[in-house]
Structure 1
């Protein structure tokens, strides 16, 4: 059982006490299955990205064995091509440990995110044996993702079950992949196994994110497209500040949190906690704390957090307390509290940046 003593690093005045943090961690632990899987909620489905986010929250809370079990679940369930399916269910085997693929698409940002989790776990534990065990799985995942890099540097968002893929990229997904590639390069450096192809691919992707918004599908009504260039470590400094200020009033509902979609009266805990992480990464910790404090109304009696709230109807919706919402909040609190592993993967200052291709025609622009 998680004790308040193990979650002292997750204390944040106005947001979480040690007892409250311990209750939230226990909530994620209660959802985790015996085989290490962390579905959205008990009886719900699992997706690889949110599974990793919840595992990272467990590491931030000192639950390293449980986090490792989550990564070993990924190792056991990885496809031969290095990917994972977009969704898994235990509905056909509720008492057992057999996960059945649901959505058999293979989303690139879902597959890449193992690199963020593995590097975070290593920084949390210093476990070289874990890094050795996970390296082949991380390597295969990155290779799968980079097979879908398009000529402009952006990465197609999924491969279909028939192996086809759309020549379309999502900004949010690519920003997440950019962070993941930087973490993958950090793992490679730690293992003294240089990956020059990864370095070039990372540089090309970062350039596309920063300088070529036209290469991505227009999803600007979603708040994630607004803050993910910052959260994914691509954007820093005055440009990050300008981007966040440009749409603050479109997405932030004072006292309630962050809208998921601009034209919907719906604030969500996950997006709010992620924005708080982005604000922290920009050096705006006070505003980050304000955002986290604004979603206290989403906290349930068991310490978990409701996914969202429709403020025009004064209604919680959907009626789900998700592991990844709790995980995002714990990671934001961990960063604000100075947890070394969490700050390292979200600040980005100590992560490799890759190589940018030489500009054409002697241009010196970035």
Structure 2
């Protein structure tokens, strides 16, 4: 039986299993993993929750979730932004939501080694990534989404078809990781896709060197750490980026704020920062933050979304599936337990290639990416 992650003094393997069971208990008969029972399902958080099921050994439940993704994908490769109780509540398209299927599929394959699963999901991944590439601007950034294409467009997005021509740091950084996972899947199934890796490199360059192509960083913490989490910014540059806004977001003993000016800490964002710091090799601070957010744990193993620390009230009053999932993924990364524990650490495509010194601050070399 595979081991379950544990973080000494913070989270036992038994507690981690309880969290996995709490996620599975929220799964709808269709396989969908909603934010909470009766709540909305979005394609990105659904995948994150499926990844946590894989880590905790609930492979059948995870595969049921991926089958839901395969079944609900539209002919153009996209998914609606939001489902509620099995019905489409927002038919528009978010490029990042569509790309994340590649991260989940590769993650599950790393854990199981199941080539049949990879082959089964390959058409879904291929269609999703081909769709996502339509949102890439000539300068590398990813436009965040668009309206659902009308039948007469043949599933193609164009300016007249409602592409929202603005690029967001968080979504683009997440797509950066997804493109890397997609390229690995393509190689594993014998269908190399160099265009996907090229798109990832161009997106990474934009995230590192042309941040003006994106909307200005918002007051949300995700815009702060996601360039690190998604693999575009690492090393000294990543450490400097995290240091820049540390005091704005980190609340000692509680976790991190979701929004820089509000007295509200959230568990998922805290665990994502834990993952980002793990990517930078800063496990000491990462473990402290992971311990700090455990006040959100419920006795049933699930996690409350957040706490308004100015009045001590949980808000929103919900135990979210994706918060529990972020906890499991952070525990796996810190403990290096599952075969997929490095899914975020390995998102940096520049580790094994030579790049220009001007592309990555602090990197010294003479060659450029071809």
Q: Give the TM-score normalised by structure 1.
A: 0.91
Matches within 5 A, 1:156-305: 156-161=143-148, 163-305=161-303
Deviation at 1:14, TM superposition (A): 2.7
Q: Distance in 2 between matches of 1:14 and 1:160?
A: 47
Is 1:44 the counterpart of 2:45? The answer is: no
**365 and 196 in structure 1: CA distance in 2 versus 1, 3 angstrom threshold:** closer
Is 1:54 the counterpart of 2:49? The answer is: yes
Q: Distance in 2 between matches of 1:302 and 1:347?
A: 30
Deviation at 1:196, TM superposition (A): 2.1
Q: Is the 8 A contact 2:180 2:347 kept in 1?
A: no
Is 1:130 the counterpart of 2:110? The answer is: no
Q: Is the 8 A contact 2:4 2:16 kept in 1?
A: no
Deviations 1:103-138 (A, max 9, x none): 111100000000000000001101111111100000
Q: Give the TM-score normalised by structure 2.
A: 0.90
**158 and 165 in structure 1: CA distance in 2 versus 1, 3 angstrom threshold:** same
**133 and 183 in structure 1: CA distance in 2 versus 1, 3 angstrom threshold:** same
Deviation at 1:340, TM superposition (A): 4.3
Q: Is the 8 A contact 2:354 2:367 kept in 1?
A: no
Deviation at 1:161, TM superposition (A): 3.1
Q: After superposing the two structures, state which structure 1 stretch, 287-296 or 195-204, moved more.
A: 195-204
Aligned residues: 350
Q: Is the 8 A contact 1:88 1:102 kept in 2?
A: yes
Q: Is the 8 A contact 1:39 1:323 kept in 2?
A: yes
Question: 2:154 maps to what in 1?
Answer: none
Is 1:155 the counterpart of 2:142? The answer is: yes
For structure 2, the 5+ residue unaligned runs are 150-160, 357-365
For structure 1, the 5+ residue unaligned runs are 91-98
The runs of at least 4 consecutive aligned structure 1 residues that moved more than 4 Å come to 349-358, 363-366
Q: After superposing the two structures, state which structure 1 stretch, 13-22 or 225-234, moved more.
A: 13-22
Q: Secondary structure at the match of 1:267?
A: strand
Q: Is the 8 A contact 1:253 1:259 kept in 2?
A: yes
Q: Distance in 2 between matches of 1:284 and 1:350?
A: 16
Q: Is the 8 A contact 1:259 1:266 kept in 2?
A: yes
Q: Is the 8 A contact 1:221 1:263 kept in 2?
A: yes
Q: Secondary structure at the match of 1:187?
A: helix
Is 1:141 the counterpart of 2:128? The answer is: yes
Q: Distance in 1 between matches of 2:203 and 2:348?
A: 18
